[in-house]
Structure 1
Amino acid sequence: MTALVDAAVLNAAPGRLEIEKLRLDVPGPDEVLVRVVSAGLCHSDLHEIDGTFASEPPIVLGHEASGVVEAAGADVVGLRVGDHVVTCLSVFCGRCRYCTGGRLTLCENRSRLSHQRPGPRLVNAAGRPVRPTAGIGAFAQAMVVHQNALVRIPSDMPMAPASILGCAVTTGLGAVFRGARVEPGSSVVVIGTGGIGTAAIQGARIAGATQIIAVDLIPEKLKAAERFGATHALHAGESDPVEAVREITGGGADFAFEVVGRSTTVEQAFAMLRPGGLATVVGMVPEHTPIRVSGPELFLQEKRLQGSFMGSNQFKTDIPRYVDLYLQGRLLLDDMVSEHVTLAGINEGFELLAQGRATRVVADIGEV
């Protein structure tokens, strides 16, 4: 039987989220009904709200969340009613050439798994289908998602910090561990110290980097970055960050991570490298944005530039490991959640994010 749920709906972009009653369908084959407890607010959601990235309203945003399994459709394996789970937008089919090669974030069938089903998951009061972003739509009291967008977590893992595992943490840590494979004793620079950048800083610390340089324009974020493991904090507006990194590292960093999504900062990340260094683009660079790098540095100095979508993750195994790191006190998730809001106050949460006044904002939506 379908159910009515409160959800934050984006009906026009740019615009604001509106709380509406939506009719949520029952889970079909391979689908799971999840009661949402907490959901993280991400900059990619903000980019849809402010129109930076094209969206297709009406849409329920939100893709990183924690919750409790309420029901499971046919063919669901490994998930039962009552399980605590975390969502991840990099749903995978497990059968295409990328999945069988271990590169789940490049799955050829993601769009089909996320959106193609006999009927819409969500319908508004006017009878119009409402699209859940990435097939998740976490800014709601409940959601129906594909089983390959969920991973079970232990019941002693708190739900609020768990909610940011599926995007911010998986993306930042994965870029370090899987994308770049940072080595102990290396030098690392992270440009942009929001939620994902903070996770990357922690990943570099856990990986054993000896120099971790945080670059940002907001002094409060730079101060917080030191708490998460940065050994140096550079205000990008006060001096040339490229020259500053070269001076600190004695010629350039081994690894650079761009977590802003702008061509200028991508180019800076590449320029900050030592010969043989690797720059990883994690930020969402807008479509048709040209990126210019030095040809001689690329082939004579063997510098490398790569992308990393969602931390190049294998989240079914990665997230349980990150939970262990949190429970051991090595991954500081509670400190990353700087603000809490309700579903009704979700627009205020996005205003904090837009102003750069929060590392990560979590919407507390339901009870465990």
Structure 2
Amino acid sequence: MKIRAAVLHAMGKERPYHKSNPLQIEEVELKKPGAGEVLVRIRAAGLCHSDLSVIDGNRPRQVPMVLGHEAAGEVVELGAGVKGLSAGDHVVFSFVPMCGYCKHCMTARPALCENGVAANNEGKLLGGGSRLEDKNQQPIYHHMGVSGFAEYAVVSWQSIVAIDKALPFETAAVFGCAVMTGVGAVINTAKIRLGETVLITGLGGVGFSALLGAIAAGAGKVIVADVNEDKLRKAVELGAHAAINTSRDNAVEQVRDLTGGGVDAGFEFAGVVSALEFTYEATGRGGRTVTAGLPHPGKMMQLSPTKLVAEERILQGSYIGSCVPSRDIPAYISLFQSGRLPVDKLVTHRLPLEEINTGFERLANGEAIRQILTF
């Protein structure tokens, strides 16, 4: 079938993106779903820094590629052997397809699925190959098994989770990355306990989701840190107890003063090494620092092993919030529906596919939290 999609042909184009247009809206061919695959009509897709990092070349991927990994839609057609789903079901995408039988899937850590990560790195679906072609019948790569910046997508059934049809698609989409990554880092990775102090560095969609997740988890004090004053003010409106601009002097000392020596858990979502170093320094003795940021693979941080040992510190990565999507996405949606996780307040812009490059320029400028493409 012919569909419209946003195709990236080359990384690293100059900004502003609304002039260089790194994403081209093109008509492409989408093949029918194969065995174990599902055709989904995309109804909403979020613009995330992980997409931006492919556009600017910080996270190199194969091109041409249809980007987009945070999305929600409606099941249209099932390939052979797909069970538990029906046409008309509403679904949220998970950007790591989970095979269910590798070592990590078998030990309840499906975010580390070996086969899913391998497929994503190759720009293919979990079952192998691509279902996208250009007008010359040349393959187009998939982004994270989703390729949600398009009218339709063919994905592995392990890449989607059925959800309550009462949830609006534009809200549902943010559960596929921002909420799963941010809330999951708080709940699953750090396992925040009642009354603990928390620092969240980097206020994008993931950082704001972590803020809401920490409040829902019963954190005693939540401090946010960023260089954007508008985002800091927004975070306070959403319940942060204190906000710190890290571009100013003594930011670490401010955190330590507010918490009596440093937070119990620090979270870094900026994707910048200096932000991770700040978060680690602002975490107290015996505390844990969790990062879900993805700086350029060549960037390195400095770490004192002596402090790590003598203070019994923990530095830990978190990928898709250490989530089991089929378990956690419905749970987080239930929290939203009960009023305890108001992630709909994170959507700042709604735009059509044709304005996607303007949206990414806005994201690169720090002028948005979550922008949603609507179809």
- Please, what TM-score do these two structures have when normalized by structure 1? 0.96
Report if the CA contact (8 A) 1:58-1:131 is conserved.
yes
Instruction: Give, in whole Å, the separation in 1 of the partners of 2:366 and 2:36.
Output: 38
Secondary structure of the residue aligned to 1:135 is coil
Partner amino acid, structure 2, of 1:315: P
The count of aligned residue pairs is 363
Is 2:363 the counterpart of 1:353?
yes
Q: 2:30·2:131 contact (CA, 8 Å) conserved in 1? A: yes
8 A contact 1:86–1:151 mirrored in 2: yes
Q: How does 1:4-83 map to 2 (within 5 A)?
A: 4-15=2-13, 16-83=22-89
- Cα deviation for residue 112 of structure 1 reads 3.8
Q: What is the rounded CA distance, in whole Å, between the counterparts of 2:233 and 2:128 in structure 1?
A: 50
Q: How far did residue 117 of structure 1 move? A: 4.5
**C-alpha distance in 2 between matches for 1:168 and 1:210:** 23
> Alignment identity in percent?
40
Partner of 1:101: 107
Residue 122 of structure 1 corresponds to 132
2:114 alignment partner, SS class: coil
CA contact (8 A) 1:270 1:303 kept: no
> Is the aligned partner of 1:316 residue 2:316?
no
CA deviation string 1:222-262 (max 9, x = no partner): 01111222110001112322111001001110000011112
Counterpart residue identity of residue 3, structure 2: V
The answer (yes or no) to whether the contact 1:32–1:145 under 8 Å persists in 2 is yes
> Which amino acid letter does the alignment assign opposite residue 131 of structure 1?
Y
Amino acid at match of 2:42: V
CA shift, 1:291, in A, is 1.5
Q: Which amino acid in the other structure matches residue 14 of structure 1?
A: G
Question: Where in structure 2 are the equivalents of 1:1-368 lying within 5 Å?
Answer: 3-15=1-13, 16-110=22-116, 111-112=118-119, 114-115=124-125, 117=127, 120-365=130-375
CA deviation vs aligned residue, 1:176-208 (integer Å, no higher than 9, x gap):
000000111000000001100001111110110
* Cα deviation, residue 118, structure 1: 6.4
CA–CA distance in structure 2, aligned partners of residues 349 and 248 of structure 1: 36
Question: Which of structure 1's runs of 4+ aligned residues deviate more than 6 A?
Answer: none
- C-alpha RMSD over aligned residues: 1.2
Aligned 8 A contact 2:31 2:132 in 1: yes
Per-residue CA deviations over 1:311-335 (Å, capped at 9, x if unaligned) read 0110101000111111111111221
Contact 2:125 2:155 in 1 (8 A): no
Q: Give me the whole-angstrom Cα distance separating, in 1, the residues matched to 2:134 and 2:267.
A: 41
Q: Distance in 2 between matches of 1:240 and 1:191?
A: 15
User: Is 1:84–1:152's contact at 8 Å kept on the other side of the alignment?
Assistant: yes
- CA separation in 2, counterparts of 1:227 and 1:93? 41
Give the direction of change, closer, same or farther, for the CA distance of 1:207–1:116 in structure 2 (3 Å limit).
Answer: closer
Unmatched segments (≥5 aa) in structure 2: 14-21
Q: CA deviation at 1:119?
A: 5.1
Q: CA deviation at 1:274?
A: 1.3
The alpha-carbon distance between structure 1 residues 115 and 243, as it changes in their structure 2 partners (threshold 3 A), is: same
CA contact (8 A) 1:191 1:259 kept: yes
* Cα separation, 2, equivalents of 1:33 and 1:115: 13
8 Å CA contact 2:126, 2:145 repeated in 1: no
Give the Cα–Cα distance (whole angstroms) in 1 for the partners of residues 130 and 324 of structure 2.
28
CA displacement at 1:264 relative to structure 2: 1.4
Q: What whole-Å deviation, never above 9, does each CA across 1:281-312 have from its counterpart, x for those lacking one?
A: 11003213221122222111111101001101
1:92-134 residue CA offsets vs partner (Å, 9 max, x unmatched): 1111111010000111111348536465311011221111101
1:34 to 1:182, Cα distance in 2 relative to 1, 3 A: same
Measure, in 2, the Cα distance between the counterparts of 1:312 and 1:227: 28
Task: Give a deviation string over 1:332-354, Cα, whole Å, max 9, x none.
Answer: 12210111110011111111101
1:268 is displaced (CA, Å) by 1.4
AA in 1 matched with 2:11 = A
The amino acid that maps onto 1:9 is V
Output the CA distance in 2 between the equivalents of 1:21 and 1:253: 50
Tell me if the contact between 2:97 and 2:126 (Cα under 8 Å) persists in the aligned partners: no
Distance (Å, rounded) in 1 between the aligned partners of 2:91 and 2:158: 12
Distance 1:246 1:330 in 2: 28
